[in-house]
A and B are shown apart, each in its own frame.
Chain A
């Protein structure tokens, strides 16, 4: 049982838009920045979004992030088959004094 809650899977057609939610509490998302990671099959995770809505250099603007209260959302527009991956949200939890991730969401581009 992960501290942060994500839907196990989402799907959409190529070219469409999808959102992935990440729900937490006041001790984690409510009081800290959220980051998002993409893990393509068989590879290490990669940073997609940091500080709720910032993109590292090289990440296309098709990827966006937002946060409201104790929830965060990752948005992906113009879906491509190459976006099929597992997506994780992560942040620090003040009560646990540890980093926490969501359980991950598998994106399928139909």
Chain B
């Protein structure tokens, strides 16, 4: 079955950097688009970034554009999110999520358990 396991979350100071990873298994990773979706404490879902199957086309929320970079290594079945210039408002649970198809972002058919990122001094 599909498994998405996030890692790399933790506490970081404002202005700092963090890299999240998502290990995927149970499906042919290189055939599907992938998302990072976040949820601030007590708040709703926010699409952070989406990357198509080939790793070339990437899309970002305005709130993270220029600060976050999504990437993937299809040889390692792993999705990444590099987060720079972190702000308090980036504090959230970050979910790795799999799209139903290779280039179309929705629907999201599988979700990881999430990793908590806390930006605080």
Contacts and interface: CB of A to CB of B under 8 A. Distances in A.
Contacts, number: 67
Contacts of A33: 106-107
Interface string B86-102: 00000000010000100
A97 interface: yes
Contacts of B100: 50
Interface in A77-110: 86, 88, 90-92, 96-104
Interface of A is mostly: strand
Given A44-B95, A98-B50, A98-B62, A35 B45 contact: no
Contacts of B55: none
A45 interface: yes
B37 to A, nearest CB: 8
Interface residues of A, number: 27
Contacts of B11: none
Contact size range, B: 20 to 34
A103 B46 CA distance: 9
A17 interface: no
A47 B60 contact: no
B47 A44 contact: no
B14 interface: no
Given A2-B44, A44-B112, A103-B44, A98 B61 contact: yes
A102 to B, nearest CB: 7
B35 interface: yes
A101 B44 contact: yes
Interface in A1-58: 2, 32-33, 35, 37, 39, 44-47, 50-51, 56
B35 to A, nearest CB: 7
18 contacts: A32-B106, A35-B106, A37-B108, A44-B95, A45-B45, A45-B95, A90-B47, A92-B105, A92-B106, A96-B61, A98-B59, A98-B60, A98-B61, A98-B62, A99-B37, A99-B47, A100-B47, A101-B47
Interface of A: 2, 32-33, 35, 37, 39, 44-47, 50-51, 56, 86, 88, 90-92, 96-104
